Amino acid sequence: MGDAAARPAPPASLTQLAAPEFKGQVAMAYPLFGTTATHGAILFACWGPAEACAFFERLAANDMRIMEGNMTAAKAVAAGEIPLCTTDSDDACLLRGEGQPIGWLPIHHEPAAGDRGGALMIPNTLALMAGAPHPEEGRALIDYLLAPTVEARLANSPSRQIPLLRAADGFTTAALPADVRAMMAEPLIDPQFHVAADYLEGSAEFFRATFARP
């Protein structure tokens, strides 16, 4: 969100982005790549293809501005080119840490069947490939990155990475920044990654036909 005097009140939920008051007021990254593509596939999985397609068609009809990436969208908001955008929390935190005039909040998804609704968290991914030439070193790196001390360092970094560890894991949050603690307390949707993976190709076809690449 850009300067408070120039922006509309933020939406109460993701679907509200298609409301008339946000016509031409919102930007998002081109949804064929990165976390925006993942988010799109997750909506196909959680809502079903028909509802997800209808939502994105409403966004297109509402003059959603399409940008090359999430950081590009966030920078456009900070520069006053557009009032609002969807972006990743790390991009917003990096810009805010640089003193850019930008604020942000987690956007909530309405409850779906069997789900309470909430924000979407997409974790960073580290994989040990089958047949990798250095499996022991790979496991050591994974263990290192999942250590409480490293999670805390990442949480205190300018990008404010959200820890996966919780108190039940013996993880202490007292020394974490207030914005990270707030993010950790957010209700989250079940992203159904195992189902969303099956929708990546089909959702990409739909997005390619619905949104022009910038």
- Beta partners for residue 188, in sequence order: 119
Give mean pLDDT, residues 175-185. Answer: 90
Structure tokens at 32: 């064929």
Pair 80, 142 in one domain: no
Residue 176: partners with Cβ closer than 8 Å, 6 or more residues away:
152, 155, 156, 163, 184
Mean pLDDT, the chain, rounded, equals: 91
The count of structural domains within the chain is 2
Pair 106, 200 in one domain: yes
Q: What is the pLDDT of residue 3?
A: 54
Q: What is the pLDDT of residue 115?
A: 66
Pair 27, 57 in one domain: yes
**CA–CA gap between residue 127 and residue 139 (Å, rounded):** 9
**CA–CA gap between residue 100 and residue 181 (Å, rounded):** 22
Query: Which CATH number characterizes residue 33's domain?
Result: 3.40.190.10
pLDDT tens-digit profile of 129-173? 999 999 999 999 999 998 999 999 999 999 999 998 877 677 888
111: left (phi > 0), else alpha (psi -120 to 50), else beta? beta
3-state secondary structure at position 183 = helix
The one-letter amino acid at 27: A
pLDDT over 70 (residue 50): yes
Q: What is the pLDDT of residue 170?
A: 73
Structure tokens at 40: 């799109």
Instruction: Answer yes or no: pTM beyond 0.95.
Output: no
Structure tokens at 164: 């996966």
Q: What is the pLDDT of residue 168?
A: 66
Give mean pLDDT, residues 75-99. Answer: 95
Q: Judge whether 7 lies within some domain.
A: no
Pair 62, 165 in one domain: no
Q: Judge whether 4 lies within some domain.
A: no
Q: What is the pLDDT of residue 129?
A: 94
Which has the higher per-residue pLDDT, 55 or 169? 55
pLDDT over 70 (residue 67): yes
pLDDT over 90 (residue 63): yes
pLDDT tens-digit profile of 91-133? 999 999 999 999 899 999 987 666 678 999 998 888 999 999 9
pLDDT band at 209 (very low <50, low <70, confident <90, very high): very high
Pair 109, 202 in one domain: yes
Q: Judge whether 41 lies within some domain.
A: yes
pLDDT tens-digit profile of 6-40? 567 889 899 999 999 999 999 999 999 999 999 99
Query: What CA dihedral angle connects 204, 117, 97 and 18, to 10 degrees?
Result: 60
Q: Judge whether 25 lies within some domain.
A: yes
Q: What is the pLDDT of residue 8?
A: 72
Give me the sheet containing 65-67, strands edge to edge: 65-67, 26-29, 84-85
Structural domain span for residue 157? 135-184
